[in-house]
Structure 1
């Protein structure tokens, strides 16, 4: 869908969803909200994360609207007890970005807001093949970019054209997650080190250990290499989950009971992955499938989350009207 049309839909839906009679009919019991990077200057990062202003707006909106921001464990416990005294929001951050601590944590502390960070082994160990960071660096550093695996050449001399090109290549990778590995020769030709980018963008083991002791923080798994599990054979997919859990528990010295599927859509995880998660010993798994939690019968191994990139997108999704608009 064209971005302008999408923004118009979200804006209209957000206003309609605020009507009292619809709010009561569409009200959810809880919602799990998805973040990645929290950026002070989104333009300089080609609009790849959440702006500080939008992050603060979302927390203010929740608390003004009577949502109680709680840990994932508390949220699911409230749902299990059919506690209808409040609506509950869970804040989650995927991948373990440094700015989750340097930028987001002071805001979270100000709001006394618990949060979950899902961490893949390859982030703190600097071994993850972060093709998305490589692409960002490539487009930021050059006005002419050839993506041989895609058979495309991009001429992009300003932030808008760079952002558009990055979005196009990212969408191409997401159509088949194995394409990320096909970008390695391009990165090598352009002198881009994914290990160096990992070091720049992700918490290291010492920093993660410090964060894990913060009273607001919980740490969950995110597989060993951030692979789309559905693209792997079963032994490999199980190892991705088990090795990541073992690594984090050894590093942090406490149980790791929750996990987020990398990518998290229907092409990246399904019933097989839900079974593997339970076999490895995780108690919950979150996806990137859009949705809120309505009652205790929710599947704990395919929990939906709310992702958004604008104020209107956030309020439209939290109001529930988008679920109605997009329903088949």
Structure 2
């Protein structure tokens, strides 16, 4: 591990979380368990990573030529459990963090299709997805997880398919506004969080749309309107941004240009990687995701230590 870390690990790592789930299994293992969350924070400290705010990380990379490594903790979407579950853990460690907030979460207008799909698979042993023309027989926990994974991957292949899920939700009696109310912070709670000394708030678009699927004016409006909403609500500057979905299908050079044009200082993706120095593109920063159905402590440690980067480089050199 130390050898890999010296060669392949970056000077900074931006960790990405979504939900920090008390009952990981009942949520079909879609977020990060409390046990893994605590392990990741403990491991960072034990291995010499200093957990700092986004602003401090950028400042240290610019002014500190040494070998210290910095970790930035980020949470996407503003889930209630970021406050109820994660915040006490972060407070005990005095660990700063960033929460990226789409306008539609606190306003309850978000088309949170991933919550709708999870609810359908959690509650039913037979799930029909009309747009896929497919029926999933899923009485067991494993079959529910597999079915949810398959539909989610289908959406990620083409984000226009999100709108095609409406008939399925309607027939199943799924209310996305009700799920938004249950899972996301409201405006008052977000205002309270923004005043916490460890917290920073970033933008995440108005509707959580895949920006690459929109025309340029609409994509720009998604960023600008979200920043304006958050700054008016919180009475604080909002300098940092996260692309929804964040992969190659969802954002690229055009979106990086728009993020800079709108006035953000940084923008993060979901592409795996660490930050080697200040010369990294501040509008296409990689992150290290922590959580999901296939996550383990060993996999987390391998990614943070540079083993995954080493494997990618090795495979790339053989092609």
TM-score range, shorter chain: over 0.9
Q: TM-score, normalised by structure 1?
A: 0.93
- Tell me if the contact between 2:227 and 2:238 (Cα under 8 Å) persists in the aligned partners: yes
Partner of 1:12: none
Q: Counterparts of 1:155 and 1:44 in 2: how far apart (Å)?
A: 18
* Aligned partner of 1:86 among 68, 86, 109: 68
Partner of 1:258: 240
SS in 1 for 2:131: coil
- Tell me if the contact between 1:82 and 1:296 (Cα under 8 Å) persists in the aligned partners: no
Is 2:300 aligned against 1:314? yes
Q: Counterparts of 2:269 and 2:282 in 1: how far apart (Å)?
A: 10
Q: Aligned-residue CA RMSD in angstroms? A: 0.9
Structure 1: which 5+ runs fail to align?
1-17
Deviations 1:75-103 (A, max 9, x none): 01111124425210000000000000000
SS in 1 for 2:26: helix
Partner of 2:197: 215
Is 2:310 aligned against 1:324? yes
- Tell me if the contact between 2:239 and 2:266 (Cα under 8 Å) persists in the aligned partners: yes
TM-superposed CA distance for 1:324, in Å, is 1.6
Is 2:180 aligned against 1:198? yes
* Aligned partner of 2:48 among 66, 74, 87: 66
Partner of 2:222: 240
Q: How many residues align?
A: 310
Q: Counterparts of 1:133 and 1:119 in 2: how far apart (Å)?
A: 16
SS in 2 for 1:288: strand
Q: How does 1:151-190 map to 2 (within 5 A)?
A: 151-190=133-172
- Tell me if the contact between 1:260 and 1:286 (Cα under 8 Å) persists in the aligned partners: yes
TM-superposed CA distance for 1:24, in Å, is 2.0
TM-superposed CA distance for 1:159, in Å, is 1.4
SS in 1 for 2:110: coil
* Aligned partner of 2:250 among 268, 273, 276: 268
User: Taking structure 1 as reference, are residues 142 and 27 closer, same or farther at Cα in structure 2, changes over 3 Å only?
Assistant: closer
Deviations 1:275-306 (A, max 9, x none): 10111100100000000011111000000000
Q: Counterparts of 2:84 and 2:229 in 1: how far apart (Å)?
A: 24
Q: Counterparts of 1:23 and 1:173 in 2: how far apart (Å)?
A: 35
- Tell me if the contact between 2:104 and 2:110 (Cα under 8 Å) persists in the aligned partners: yes
* Aligned partner of 1:305 among 284, 287, 291: 287
- Tell me if the contact between 1:221 and 1:260 (Cα under 8 Å) persists in the aligned partners: yes
SS in 2 for 1:45: coil
- Tell me if the contact between 1:116 and 1:218 (Cα under 8 Å) persists in the aligned partners: yes
Q: Counterparts of 1:298 and 1:317 in 2: how far apart (Å)?
A: 19
